[in-house]
Structure formats: C-alpha cells, structure tokens
Amino acid sequence: MEQTKTERYHALVERFKKHIFKDANLINPHQVEGFNYQVINPWEIWHNNLDAKVLFIGQDFSDTTSLEKCLKTNWKKELSSPTNKNLVDLFCVLGHGYNFEDVDYSSPKKHPVFFTNAILGIKVSESENMTLTIKDAWWQETCNDYLKELIDIIQPKYIIAMSMVAYKAISKIYDNKVEKSVSEAISNNDKRKLPNGIDLFMVSHCSPNGLRTRQFTTQVQDWLKIRNYMEGVYE
C-alpha cells in the first residue's frame, strides 16, 4: 500500500533526527533539550500543512540560544520576532491573513502553507551576541537528502525562497541557473519554473538586516507581483 504524505513526512523526520552535521558549528535541533516536536525544522511547528500549495523556505532558524529561549518561554520570542511579524504582513499581501497572536505552536492551524528553512541545522552559540558566517556547506549538506524529499512529499504548486541562501539551495536541487544578485533574481520571478512544474519565487529577507538592503515598501511590491502571478491560489 502506498504511504500517505503524513507517513512519508514522519519517516523523513525520524531519519533526520539521526543526522549529525559535519560542521561542529551546527547541531540537529533534536539535540537541543526540550525540542520534542515531530518536525525537521522549528519553523515547521508554525505552519506544516503537507497539502500546502505554497512552500516557504527561509534561510535558517537562528541559533541554540534563541531556540532554547523559545522552548523555555512557550515560543514568546518567536511570536515577537520582527522577522515573523513582517512575514505575517507579507503573507497578508498574498491574501493569507490571520491574527498572529492566535498562532498556537503546539497545534498549528491548517493554513495552505508549509514553512521550513534551507539550513536545517541550528547554529551553536555561546551568547546572544555571537554571529557566524553562513557557509554554503551548511545548506548543501541537507538540501538534496531532506529538502528535495520534503518537496516531493508536499508537491507544492509554488515555492517562495527567502534570501539568496534559500534560493541557491532550491536551485542546486534542480540544477537551475542562479542569478548573480538578489535584485536580479527577484526581477525574474515570473520566468522561473522548476523541472517538476513548480514555480520558484525569490524574495529578500524581511529581517531588520534584510530591510537595510531592500526596504519593506519595496518588498511589499515584490510580494504583490507574486500574488498577481499566482492569482487564485487562496480563493
């Protein structure tokens, strides 16, 4: 008998739990004390509809200090995150609106989206002020084994990649050409279809750092163009 999407996803999660990252600066989220969720990446706790029409792939889920604080405070840090609050507003541009304060990380609502990250490991940190330079090897290690299978399970109609890291990860899976700059990749959002028929969109990171290079008003216009392209998804 053919496995259901849920069965395939749970099998993928169980396989990922055993993954040990080659770089000592990354650890599996399941190695963090208190992380007892049946997901690959913490963002999947927020939105994990396996029948999603839109798969949203970010860059990474911060570091161990941030994750531990989220677990100890019932995700209050995430609920107040500027990046996530901006994401709520940007998804509203797509016609996907909801009250952020109603989000329940222990029992997510079945919105037609699935959230994950390109870098599936959690950066090891010694303090909140510690920053690590993102390495290509961090997403390359898992993009073919886990991200590709996740895409195959969900079979979304659209993928939105936030940041060049996420965009490069998906492009590598399908051997797609990668534009040289964020602005060039965003400008080509109506021209990029993956071999399996999925439309791939690139958006800038909506964190405070990301807004320094591409203002929020400009990002809203980027997302509006995506909505115009994929009109009818949320009807």
Q: Does residue 84 have a pLDDT over 60?
A: yes
Confidence class of residue 127 from pLDDT cuts 50, 70 and 90? low
**Cα(169)–Cα(173) distance, integer angstroms:** 7
- Look up the CATH number of the domain holding residue 32: 3.40.470.10
- The per-residue pLDDT for range 89-106, each reduced to its tens digit, is 999 898 876 555 555 555
173 lies in which domain range? Answer: 5-229
**Cα(160)–Cα(166) distance, integer angstroms:** 9
Q: Which residues pair with residue 56 across a beta bridge?
A: 115, 160
Tell me whether strands 158-162 and 199-203 are parallel, antiparallel or unpaired: parallel
Q: Which residue has the tokens 């940190």?
A: 125
pLDDT at 107: 55
- Domain-located, residue 215: yes
Ramachandran angles phi, psi of 63, nearest 5°? -140, 180
Task: Select the highest-mean-pLDDT range: 73-77, 123-127, 148-152.
Answer: 148-152
**Cα(14)–Cα(28) distance, integer angstroms:** 12
| Residue pair 4/11 in contact by the 8 Å Cβ criterion | no
- The per-residue pLDDT for range 172-226, each reduced to its tens digit, is 999 888 998 889 999 999 888 998 999 999 999 999 999 999 999 999 999 999 9
pTM (2 d.p.): 0.92
- Domain-located, residue 234: no
The CA dihedral of 55, 56, 60, 65, to the nearest 10 degrees, is -100
Burial class (CB in 10 A: 0-12, 13-18, 19+), 57: buried
- Domain-located, residue 235: no
Confidence class of residue 109 from pLDDT cuts 50, 70 and 90? low
Assign 3-class secondary structure to 148-172: HHHHHHHCCCEEEEECHHHHHHHHH
- Domain-located, residue 38: yes
Q: Does residue 27 have a pLDDT over 90?
A: yes
pLDDT at 235: 43
User: Between these two residues, 98 and 64, which has the higher pLDDT value?
Assistant: 64
Share of the chain above pLDDT 70, in %: 90
- Domain-located, residue 198: yes
Q: How many CA atoms lie within 13 A of 3 on its CB side?
A: 11
Confidence class of residue 126 from pLDDT cuts 50, 70 and 90? low
pLDDT at 130: 60
Tell me whether strands 122-123 and 54-58 are parallel, antiparallel or unpaired: unpaired
Q: Which of 116, 37, 27, 38 is CA-nearest to residue 65?
A: 27
Instruction: Fill in the amino acid letter for 26.
Output: L
Strand ranges in 128-232 using DSSP code E only, listed in sequence order = 158-162, 199-203
Structurally, the chain folds into a number of domains equal to 1
Choose the weakest-confidence range: 21-25, 100-104, 107-111, 214-218. 100-104
Handedness of CA 148, 149, 151, 155 (dihedral sign): positive
